[in-house]
Amino acid sequence: MKKKGGCLCGKVGIIANSVKPQVHAYHCNMCQSWNGGPTLSVHCGTDVGFSNEEYISVYQSCSWAELGFCKNCGSHLFYRSIDNGEYIIQSGSFDSADGFTLEQQIFIKEKPAYYSFANHTTDLTGAEVLAQYASDDKASE
């Protein structure tokens, strides 16, 4: 599905043309540090455009990914894979959440005990997620 949105102050606009409707809750330590809690986001592929890109700052958070945020208001905009350029965008960055469903929680063992989502989801450990990505890489060879 196609979605549009942007940052809190409106300086950065987002148009994502291939948004998957499944919301994933990321509980990894990096996401908790970046957001102060879990990251709720959707996979958007590589067909993503931004307006006013001069307001986007990018931080390379690890050897395989970059985090993007608005320089003006600080809104967290995306996680981008360095290897394939895929964008994983904060679900709240879009103008509408219509069609989204919480489907999966990953890095579940890193989730703090003080909260719990009521939705029934697939729960994956960090090791399970990394093994899944390794399987995807082998399938594309």
Q: Where are the alpha helices (DSSP H) in the chain?
A: 29-35, 126-139
- Domains of the chain by residue range: 3-139
Query: pLDDT at position 141, please?
Result: 46
- Please state, for a pLDDT cut of 90, what percent of the chain lies above it: 72
**DSSP character at residue 108:** G
Asked if the model's pLDDT at residue 134 lies above 90, the reply is no
Query: pLDDT at position 139, please?
Result: 46
| Distance from C-alpha of 81 to C-alpha of 84, rounded to nearest angstrom | 6
CATH (residue range 3-139): 2.170.150.70
Asked if the model's pLDDT at residue 136 lies above 70, the reply is no
- Mean pLDDT, the chain, integer: 91
Using a cut of 0.85, tell me whether the model's pTM lies above it: no
| Mean pLDDT, range 3-10, rounded to an integer | 98
Instruction: Look up residue 71 and give its two tokens.
Output: 């320089």
* pLDDT digits 0-9 by tens, 50-86: 999 999 999 999 888 999 999 999 999 999 999 999 9
Ordered strands of the 3-6 beta sheet: 3-6, 13-16, 48-51
What are all long-range contacts of 64-70, with beta carbons under 8 Å and residues at least 24 apart?
67/34, 70/7, 70/8, 70/9, 70/11, 70/12
Query: pLDDT at position 132, please?
Result: 80
* pLDDT digits 0-9 by tens, 77-106: 999 999 999 999 999 999 999 999 999 999
Cβ atoms of 43 and 20 closer than 8 Å = yes
Neighbours of 105 (CB within 10 A): 21
